[in-house]
């Protein structure tokens, strides 16, 4: 199942334009110091689908379609009676994208999926974790064009976590903004005179 992938469009842009701009902006002495994308993790919690095998299989299939890779099933670690969950019961699915697949997913997310969100006002700049990683929630899987709206059984959300090598949130913000992430501008502490000129 080894498949040769060519350089993703966004990865090539990172190497040609984004990395040199980050080196100049932050004064790195070597290209290896510039922040880069490590992985993208997609996680779908399947609350109501845990009781129904058909719904669970459909949700896993949709996540596989979005990611382009087979997801791992997440099992409950302990029993919780209030949630009707037993230990070992499937409660979610997740997939980790690396290298070209991660760049390709981010390219699709920023250029195709996010513009399809109704009443979209930009991504929160407060969702960085303090160590250069960013997490966001997507309320509907239907924003991805691979998902046929008429063929789905239920609208489900998913979480997206982007892991970078950035040491600070400011560096991660600069990287993700260069990737095309549409962050909100109001009260944004990462916007400086140099970012408004670029």
Closest CA to 80 of 71, 69, 88: 88
- What per-residue string of b and e applies to 70-79 under the rule 16 or more CB within 10 Å gives b? ebeeeebeee
pLDDT at 10: 80
Check residue 8 and report its DSSP letter: P
Q: What distances in angstroms separate CA 77 from CA 81, 95, 125, one per listed residue?
A: 13, 18, 32
Q: 111-169, pLDDT tens digit by residue?
A: 777 777 777 777 777 777 788 888 888 887 767 767 766 677 777 778 888 898 888 88
Mean pLDDT, the chain, whole residue set: 76
Domain ranges of the chain: 9-184
The top-level CATH class assigned to 9-184 is alpha beta
pLDDT surpasses 80 at 175: yes
Q: How far apart are CA 62 and CA 146, in angstroms?
A: 9
- Give residue 193's pLDDT band: very low, low, confident or very high (50, 70, 90): very low
Give the pLDDT score at 135: 86
Please report the pLDDT score of residue 150 as a whole number.
67
Cβ distance 110 to 40 under 8 Å?
no
Residue 6 corresponds to which tokens in the numbers above?
């060519």
Question: 16-54 pLDDT, tens per residue?
Answer: 888 888 888 888 888 888 888 889 888 887 766 566 677
* pLDDT for position 103: 86
Quote the DSSP letter at residue 51: G
Q: How far, CA to CA in Å, does 170 sit from each of 23, 128, 156, 166, 167?
A: 14, 9, 31, 8, 9
Record the tokens describing residue 81, joined without a space.
Answer: 């009676």
Looking at residue 8, what is its pLDDT? Answer: 73
């Amino acid at each position: 199942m080894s498949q040769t992938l060519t350089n993703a469009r966004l990865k090539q842009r990172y190497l040609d334009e984004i990395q040199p701009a980050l080196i100049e902006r932050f004064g790195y002495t070597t290209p290896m110091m510039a922040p880069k994308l490590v992985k993208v993790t997609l996680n779908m919690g399947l609350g109501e689908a845990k009781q129904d095998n058909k719904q669970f299989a459909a949700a896993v299939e949709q996540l596989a379609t979005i990611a382009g890779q087979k997801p791992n099933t997440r099992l409950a670690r302990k029993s919780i009676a209030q949630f009707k969950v037993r230990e070992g019961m499937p409660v979610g699915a997740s997939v980790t994208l690396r290298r070209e697949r991660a760049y390709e997913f981010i390219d699709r997310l920023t250029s195709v999926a996010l513009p399809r969100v109704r009443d979209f006002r930009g991504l929160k700049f407060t969702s960085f974790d303090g160590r250069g990683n960013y997490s966001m929630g997507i309320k509907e899987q239907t924003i991805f064009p691979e998902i046929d709206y008429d063929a789905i059984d239920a609208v489900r959300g998913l979480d997206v976590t982007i892991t970078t090598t950035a040491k600070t949130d400011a560096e991660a913000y600069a990287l993700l903004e260069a990737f095309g992430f549409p962050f909100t501008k109001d009260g944004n502490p990462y916007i400086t005179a140099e970012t408004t000129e670029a």
